[in-house]
Structure 1
Amino acid sequence: MTESLKNDYRLCEELGRGQFGIIHRCISLNSGESFACKSIDKRLLCDSTDRECIEKEPKILRVLGGNANIIQIHRLYEDENWLHMIIDLCDGPDLFEQISKRSGAFSESEAASIFTQLIKSVSCCHRFGVAHRDIKPDNILFDSTRKLKLADFGSAEWFGMNERRTMTGVVGTPYYVAPEVLSGREYDQKVDVWSAGVILYVLLAGVPPFYGETPVETFEAVLRGNLRFPTRIFKSVSPEAKDLLRKMLCKDASRRLSAEQVSRHPWVINGGQTMING
C-alpha cells in the first residue's frame, strides 16, 4: 500500500472486486469520516488502452466534481504498482441489486425518483463534454441517504464542450449499449441517453426492451431497435412515460432527445405523477 495512504486512511472491509482492483471501506484518520478506497493494481493492466482508461477516470471525476449525483473523488495516491482513489462511500444496494430483489416493476413515482437523479448526472456529464458510455444499473450507486451516485467512469470519453467531436469504439454492456455503438459507426453523447432509456424501461416493465438468449442475440435485438410496449406489462404505465421512452429509445440518434431535453420532459418534471396515475 502507498505509504502516504496508510498515514491518512485506515482500510477496512472489502466492498467489491473488479478486473483490475478492489474496493475497501476506509476511514480518514484525521476526521473519522468513512469513504471508499478504489485500488487499481497497475501490474494487471494488459495494454496502453487499459492504462489510458485508468489514468482518465480520476481526471474526469475531478472535472465533474461538485455534482451531488456523481461519485466524488477526494484524494488520489499512486506509486509504481498501485493507484488508489478515495471516493464517496455508497453502502446502499446499487440499482442492479434493487431491481434483482423486486418481484415486479417499480411504480412510476418510484421510477421517477431514481430516473430524475440519473438524468441530472448524465446532463452534468454532457455539459462538461464527457460521455459515460457504460450506464447500467451496476454503475448506479446509492449512499446512506438514498442519494443516487453515477459511478465507474473507466469507459468514459471526452467529446468536447465547444467543438463537439464524435467517438468510436465498441464499449458498453449488453442490454444497455446503443445501436450506433454496435454498428461500428461514429457516435455522440446520446449513447448515454439510450442507456438511461433502457434503465427507465426496466424500472417500469421489470424486463429489458431488447434481449436474447445469448449476448449475440441481445446485440442483434438492440441493432433492430424494435421498441414494443406489451399490453400485459404496460397496461398501467402512462402515455407520458411511454412517450418519453419512445423519444429516448429512438434508433435514429439525430432524432433522439438530448439529456437536457429529457430532463425537461413533462413526465420527469412531474415526478412520474400523471393524469392517469394521480
Structure 2
Amino acid sequence: DGEKYFLLCLWNSYSAMNHVPLVVVSGGELFDRIVEKGFYTERDASKLIRQILDAVKYLHDMGVVHRDLKPENLLYYSLDEDSKIMISDFGLSKIEGSGSVMSTACGTPGYVAPEVLAQKPYSKAVDCWSIGVIAYILLCGYPPFYDENDTKLFEQILKAEYEFDSPYWDDISDSAKDFIRHLMERDPKKRFTCEQALEHPWIAGDTALDKNIHQSVSEQIKKNFAKSKWKQAFNATAVIRHMRKLQLGTSQEGPGHAMQEKTCSLHCSR
C-alpha cells in the first residue's frame, strides 16, 4: 500500500499523470525539525533515511524515478514527535521504461548523480545517489559537494570527490560512513539499490550510534542551509549555461522534457 509511505505527489503542468493526489501537510521541513530538537543522534538519522528508502523503493517498484530528492522535498506530515516523513515535488519525476531514455540533465546541483551530469543514459540509481547525499548531510549538517563555481562543483560530483572531514565526522560510526559510500558510489552498477541499502546494518541492524550530535549538526545546518539560502532558487538559465560549457546540456527525452528543462529542471539551494 503506497499510502503508508506518505508520498506527497504535487505534479506540475508537464506531468503525464491523469490523477493529481494532493495531501496537505503541517509538520514543517526536515531541517527545521532537526534544528529545533535538543537531542539528535545517528540512530535518529538512520530512522529518517529508512523512511526515505522505504518510500523510494515503493516508487522504484512502481517504475517511478523521482530525480530531485533533496532535504527541501522532505516534509513532516504533522507536528507529532513521531510524524512520518513525506516526499514532495514530483515535477521532475519520470516513469522508467515509458518509451524514452532518461538522459536529461535535471535535478538540483549538489544532489545529482555523476551519470546525470555526464549526460549518460541513467536509471533509478540516481535517486539512490541523492539519498546518499541526504544521509551525509543529516550526519554533519553540510553538503558533500560545494563550490561557488558551478563548473568546479560539477567536476567534484563527476569524480565523486568527497571527504569525511575532521572534526565533524570523528564521532560518526564507520558503519554510517560505509553506508554512505555504497550509495555515493560513482559507478551506478555498483551503487546500492534501495533494497540493498535497507539491508545494511546501519539501517537494519544496531550499528547507528546513540551519541548526541545535535549541537554540531544543527550549527552546520544553520550555517550552510540558512532558510534564506535553502529557499532561494538559483537562476536556471545560468546553470544550464554552465552545463553547456561542459557539453552536458543536450536532452534526449523529447520536446516535453526539453521545455521543462528550460524552465525548471536545474535549480540550486545554495
Corresponding residue for residue 117 of structure 1 = 51
Corresponding residue for residue 169 of structure 1 = 104
Q: How does 1:9-48 map to 2 (within 5 A)?
A: none
Corresponding residue for residue 224 of structure 1 = 159
When the two structures are superposed, what TM-score results if normalisation uses the length of structure 1?
0.65
3-state SS of paired residue (1:233):
coil
CA distance in 2, matches of 1:109, 1:166: 38
CA distance in 2, matches of 1:250, 1:181: 14
State the percentage of identical aligned residues: 35
Corresponding residue for residue 85 of structure 2 = 148
2:28 corresponds to 1:93? yes
Contact 1:105 1:202 in 2 (8 A): no
CA distance in 2, matches of 1:72, 1:246: 29
Q: Deviations over 1:182-207 (max 9, x none)?
A: 11111110000000000000000111
2:126 corresponds to 1:191? yes
Aligned length: 204
CA distance in 2, matches of 1:271, 1:158: 35
Contact 2:176 2:208 in 1 (8 A): no
Amino acid at match of 2:181: R
Deviation of residue 233 (structure 1)?
A: 1.2
CA distance in 1, matches of 2:27, 2:72: 12
Report which of the two structures shows the higher radius of gyration computed on alpha carbons.
1
Contact 1:263 1:269 in 2 (8 A): yes
Contact 1:205 1:234 in 2 (8 A): yes
* 207-216 or 89-98: bigger deviation: 89-98
- Unaligned residue ranges in structure 1 (runs of 5+): 1-63
How large is the RMSD of aligned CA atoms in angstroms?
3.1
Gap change, CA 1:86 and 1:255, over 3 Å in 2: closer
Deviation of residue 152 (structure 1)?
A: 1.1
| Highest RCO, 1 vs 2 (Cα 8 Å, sep ≥ 6) | 2
Deviation of residue 211 (structure 1)?
A: 0.9
Higher helix share: 2
2:169 corresponds to 1:234? yes
Corresponding residue for residue 18 of structure 1 = none
Gap change, CA 1:120 and 1:250, over 3 Å in 2: same
Gap change, CA 1:141 and 1:114, over 3 Å in 2: same
Gap change, CA 1:206 and 1:259, over 3 Å in 2: same
Amino acid at match of 1:157: K
Gap change, CA 1:174 and 1:272, over 3 Å in 2: farther
Deviation of residue 231 (structure 1)?
A: 2.5
3-state SS of paired residue (1:247):
helix
Q: Deviations over 1:112-169 (max 9, x none)?
A: 12111011111111111111000011111111142111111110111149xx985210
Deviation of residue 217 (structure 1)?
A: 2.8
Deviation of residue 65 (structure 1)?
A: 4.5
Higher strand share: 1
CA distance in 2, matches of 1:93, 1:147: 11
Q: Deviations over 1:85-125 (max 9, x none)?
A: 552221112124446x4799952012112111011111111
3-state SS of paired residue (1:255):
coil
Gap change, CA 1:191 and 1:86, over 3 Å in 2: closer
Gap change, CA 1:171 and 1:105, over 3 Å in 2: farther
When the two structures are superposed, what TM-score results if normalisation uses the length of structure 2?
0.67
